[in-house]
A and B are shown apart, each in its own frame.
Chain A
Amino acid sequence: MTPTGGSAVHAALAGDAVLAEHYAAFRASTEAALDPALVALVRQGVAAVHGLESAPDESGLDEGTRDCLAYARRMPFEHTAIEDAEAAGVVAHLGEAGFVAFSVLAALADAECRAALVDLPGLAGS
């Protein structure tokens, strides 16, 4: 299994350079739209929910960032239960454009962890 969920899909696409390149570009564009520290927190927080990494250290985080992290942690198993007020809190912290990138990032981080958990690269012979 890929150690972190992040590269499981890309690793599985080792035999298809075109799709691998486009997948990497999509992932990179999502990450580039947000603060790198927040990207790392979201990825680690989601991976921790899946048991793939330890929980991130929240000491020193401002309230808005903690709210974002809490929101991201709900993506794996509680995405339909997220309330309007929680989303509004993230929008207030990141702005609308930031919220869009954040939503894609958190959802993709969850899906990538799941791809790692089924050992997608192993199934694909990569």
Chain B
Amino acid sequence: MSTIPRVSSAVPGEPAHFGSVLAHQPEIAASFFALYGRFWQSEVLSARIKEVARMRNARVTQCGFCRNVRFDKAVAQGLGEDAVDDIADGYETSGRLTPAEKAVLKFTDALIHDPELLTGDAKAALQRHLTPAQIAELGLGVTLFLALAKALITMGLEPETMDRTVLPTPAVLEAAE
């Protein structure tokens, strides 16, 4: 996996990172950030649940950038590092993750890794803990997390080193609409 950018920054003076590289395609950037902001702003599914799925995707796809970022709304909703540490193989036995979060993790694994993991029991658990609207939003989120991580990795935008960083949760920038 390369940590040398395979494409240059399109923003003068800025190093190559996801935002500065995506600036090569302003229409894609604008539509992505509008979508991503609305997704995180929606309260159909809690930010904590979304972050649990995002962290699982980060680990499975080996996205170092994604793995070291935390979104502040999920932290405020009680997703601490002890619980994040449990979002690893064997999460089924965690005492810190809720049954709903474990069902979300199983769905996340099924979507990003192996659809056969969504067995009858796992599917029933997901549908017991989440409404259809919440599952739709979760599916959108995992789709975006996966695509974002793979695009970032394959464009060589993985950081060589990165400290854990709490960022503002993505929001809709009305002025950009």
Contact = CB atoms under 8 A, between A and B. Distances in A.
* Size class of the B contact interface (CB-based, 8 Å): 35 or more
Chain B interface mostly: helix
B147 A111 contact: yes
Contacts of B6: 84, 87-88, 91, 99
Interface of B: 1-2, 4, 6-8, 10, 21-22, 24-25, 27-28, 30-32, 34-35, 38-39, 42, 44, 61-62, 107, 110-112, 115, 118, 123, 126-127, 132-133, 135-137, 139-140, 142-144, 146-151, 153-156
A124 B7 contact: no
Contact of B1 (A19, A23, A80, A115): A80
Interface of A: 9, 12-16, 18-19, 22-23, 25-26, 28-30, 32-33, 75, 79-80, 82-84, 87-88, 91, 96-97, 99-101, 103-104, 106-108, 110-112, 114-115, 117-118, 120, 123-126
Most buried by A among B22, B38, B112, B140: B140
Nearest to A50: B115
What are the 6 closest A-B residue pairs judged by CB atoms, nearest first? Answer: A125-B132, A124-B136, A107-B150, A97-B24, A107-B147, A22-B35
